Amino acid sequence: MSLTRPLTLIVLLALLAIYLLRAPTPPQELRQSRLLLGTVVEIAALGPDQARLEAAVNNAFAEIARIEALMTPHQPQSDVSRLSAASDEATVASETAEVIALGLQVAAASDGALDLTLGRVKALWAIESETPRIPSSEELAEALEETGPAALQLDGRQVRKAAPQLAVDLGAVAKGYAVDRAVAVLRAAGVTQASVNAGGDIFLLGDHGGRPWRIGIQHPRNDQQVAATLLVADQAVVTSGDYERFFERDGVRYHHIFDPKTGRPGDRCQSASVVAPSAALADALSTAVFVLGPEAGLALVEKFPGALALVIDAAGGRHLSPGLQERIEWP
């Protein structure tokens, strides 16, 4: 008897060890796409429980749709439409106020290269329509009246316009913000590894199997090629480029990122990619850097902790924030 007791104990301990050390359920990947924010939004999430992943991803898409409904200019009741229609001020949702606050911060830091009041300029070019056109200088000058970093004032959820005709366009920041919101929903559901990609506005949650995620930056003049690969984890990567939405006339490319000083498409870059702690910040910065060009653009990014940029200038030259060197691979 005295011998069997330790034996039983050993067997029980061995069984316990086998139970504790058994291979964990391998993580499954769930990948889904939906048309939102005027683009294809793809969410890929990893986790052990498929049903929970599915619920989390569904809720993340629902959150993006909720943000889009607040900030789209295409629905008359959205915050952005009400603000554009208002003669002096409007009260907006806290989410919209957050986007405007960030936009105004980057607008001020970039000497107005980011401008949340280019709604009329954008409408004149109609680049995303079937019938884009080149506006006259007079039309552009009129559409730019009263625009600029001081055109909107934010007080809590109240937004005041400097002039009644100002039309608000949050297109340079809202997509990134919606990506951040989707990531917050995934996190709250216990997801620790995921990517959310809204047409090039990407957030990488966690790492990728113990390694950084590898994000290819499209070559601006050859869509079969990557210009560089960025290694990132728990960060956003957002690219603004002149190759996504544009039309050509007489050999000239007219795209959708405007220099607020002229009302015409910015001509200093082919693309600007920004790595940052949030997709909203990366989105706002990528648009501003694109307008500013490599030198002023990299200086702007330096003002924001954790932000780094890769700029491809108008001639195809590459420019990097110093900290990006060790996190980039060239083809």
| Type of residue numbered 84 | S
DSSP 162: S
- Shortest reach from residue 256's CB to ligand ADP, in Å: 4
- Near ligand ADP by CB under 6 A, which window of 40-48, 151-159, 204-212, 255-263? 255-263
Burial class (CB in 10 A: 0-12, 13-18, 19+), 139: middle
Question: Should residue 258 be labelled a site residue for ligand ADP when binding is judged by CB under 6 A?
Answer: yes
Comparing CA positions, the residue from 92, 61, 64, 98 lying closest to residue 77 is 92
Do 276 and 313 form a contact (C-beta atoms < 8 A)? no
Burial (CB < 10 A; 0-12, 13-18, 19+), residue 225, is exposed
Per-residue x/- mask for ligand ADP, residues 63 to 102, rule CB under 6 A? ----------------------------------------
Residue 283 within binding range of ligand ADP, rule CB under 6 A? yes
- Residues of this chain, 190-249, that bind ligand ADP according to CB under 6 A: 200-201, 240, 244
User: How many CB atoms lie under 10 A from the CB of residue 233?
Assistant: 15
Please tell me whether residue 239 binds Mg ion under the rule CB under 5 A: no
| Residues present in the chain in total | 331
For 155, phi and psi rounded to 5 degrees?
A: -135, 95
Number of residues interacting with Mg ion: please give it, by CB under 5 A.
Answer: 4
Pick the stretch among 18-26, 48-56, 169-177, 207-215 that binds ligand ADP (CB under 6 A).
169-177
Tokens of 100: 């405007």
Stretch that binds ligand ADP, among 77-85, 154-162, 180-188, 285-293 (CB under 6 A): 285-293
Could you give the residue ranges of the DSSP H alpha helices within the chain?
4-21, 50-71, 79-85, 94-109, 119-125, 137-143, 174-188, 279-292, 294-302
Q: How far is the CB of 283 from ligand ADP (least distance, A)?
A: 5
In the list 181, 219, 256, 268, the residue contacting ligand ADP (rule: CB under 6 A) is 256
CA dist 155 and 221 (Å) reads 43
Binding mask 71-110 for Mg ion (x = CB under 5 A): ----------------------------------------
Which of ligand ADP, Mg ion, none lies near 256, with the C-beta cut-off 5 to 8 A by kind? ligand ADP
Reduce the DSSP state of residue 151 to 3 states and report it.
Answer: coil
Binding mask 141-180 for Mg ion (x = CB under 5 A): -------------------------------x--------
DSSP 23: P
Binding site for Mg ion (CB under 5 A): 172, 283, 286-287
Binding site for ligand ADP (CB under 6 A): 114-115, 118, 122, 169, 171-172, 175, 200-201, 240, 244, 256-258, 260, 283, 286-287, 291
